[in-house]
Amino acid sequence: MICIKQSSFLNDKHLQVGKKLNINSSRVEMVEALKEIYQGLNVSYPKFFKMDKMSKSAFLAAEGLMSCCNTLVEKEKIGVFLMNKSASLDTDENYFEKTFTPGEIKPNPALFVYTLPNIMLGELSIRHGFKGEQAMWIGDQFDVQNLVNYVTLLFEEQRINGAIVGWVEFYRGVQNVFLSWVERISDNPEAFAEFTSKNVESIYNKINRV
């Protein structure tokens, strides 16, 4: 059976992982709030400070999520499937402004690298060692039905045994992150919800209203 073992949610001041973890920030400035949540997680990962804001957001939500999930799935069989609305436009616009302001062409290679939305998949993969299938989808809304169908097929074909599936949106200071850890399990004593589009949608809607 393929189950949703845990979900995490992050907005500009608040990281929540089920009933297991709750970190709030009092900072108004986005970068400061992200930093405070990072400190609240008690991790040391200097690469965090080099990331753009969207990757930072994805990192924090995944960090909280994976700290609450003990998984034995082999890394080669873990997939990452994310979706968002604005691709990497927040960083694209930042890069564009810095590079093409008249009189000062100074392209910053460290920033340019983040002008691709799948870089955050790379960041999560490096941090957690995820090495399996991956996809970055773009759409107006979280296309739960198509994405869940797609990921389920990969489970059925035995290509993956675990996956992070979610929505990581970041544009002009508006942030919305929802990640689920999904795993194939043989028995289900803890009564985890089955990985269906209906269940993913209901968890996503519930935590989005908090």
Query: Per CB under 8 A, does 162 bind other proteins?
Result: no
**Residue 61 Rama label (left phi>0; alpha psi -120 to 50; beta):** alpha
Tokens, residue 170: 């970041």
Number of separate helices (H) and strands (E) present in the chain: 7, 8
- For the CB of residue 112, give the shortest distance to other proteins in the complex, in Å: 4
* Nearer to other proteins (CB atom), residue 114 or residue 192: 114
Separation of alpha carbons 81 and 103, rounded Å: 41
Please give the size of the binding site for other proteins, defined by CB under 8 A: 49
Query: Per CB under 8 A, does 134 bind other proteins?
Result: yes
> What is the three-class DSSP state of 166?
strand
Separation of alpha carbons 17 and 9, rounded Å: 6
Query: Per CB under 8 A, does 166 bind other proteins?
Result: no
Strand ranges in the chain using DSSP code E only, listed in sequence order: 2-11, 14-17, 21-24, 78-84, 134-138, 162-171, 174-184, 193-194
Neighbouring CB atoms inside 10 A of 121's CB total 22
Q: What is the pattern of x (binds other proteins, CB under 8 A) and - over residues 94-123?
A: -xx--xx----x-xxx--xx-xxxxx-xxx
One of 9, 38, 130, 204 touching other proteins (CB under 8 A) = 130
One of 29, 32, 101, 139 touching other proteins (CB under 8 A) = 139
One of 92, 185, 196, 201 touching other proteins (CB under 8 A) = 92
Q: Which residues bind other proteins (CB under 8 A)?
A: 75-76, 80, 85-87, 89, 92-93, 95-96, 99-100, 105, 107-109, 112-113, 115-119, 121-123, 125-126, 128-140, 143, 146, 149-150, 153-154, 159
